[in-house]
Amino acid sequence: MRAVVQRVQCARVRVGGETVAEMGAGLLAFVGVVRGDGPGDAQRLGRKLAHLRILADEEGRMNRSLAAAGGTLCVVSQFTLLGDARRGHRPSFAAAAPPEEAEPLVEGVVRAAEAEGVAVVTGRFRAHMRVELANDGPVTVLLDTGRLF
């Protein structure tokens, strides 16, 4: 699984004219599922998101996690994170898991983070979403359960 994680002051996800998720300070994670990922990947990513120490402590250092600080996590499924544009100009999404495999794993990430005591809001799987956020820092981190980076 791959994730782009942004520390945010606030975020909102809209589908059509409806707000499906809204949060204050915390982390926004765009999550892509790779073909062959399994429940273990979802567990690892959910725990990593809950304990990733990129929130500011009392001295302004990136030293606190969502689990410690009590912030919110917003999980937004995004298969385009698996786009491969090394050849040509049109990305290939062949590495992305099909929706019927990806959806339960994205839900697994949510359950794993919640099990760590983190409040979680989500986008809507397979929907065209409009994501609004105020990046805090900015702080952006890339995660990959396959440890490609």
Q: Which residues of the chain have pLDDT under 50?
A: none
> What per-residue confidence (pLDDT) applies to 110?
98
DSSP class per residue in 41-65: HHHHHHHHHHH---EE-TTS-EEE-
Average of per-residue pLDDT values in the chain: 97
Catalytic positions, please? 78-80
> What per-residue confidence (pLDDT) applies to 149?
76
Name the strand (E) or helix (H) holding 29: strand 26-32
Cα separation, 29 vs 141, whole angstroms: 9
> What per-residue confidence (pLDDT) applies to 148?
83
Cα separation, 29 vs 73, whole angstroms: 7
Find out whether 72 and 121 touch, Cβ atoms under 8 Å.
yes
Q: Domains in the chain, start-ordered, CATH in brackets?
A: 2-87+95-143 (3.50.80.10)
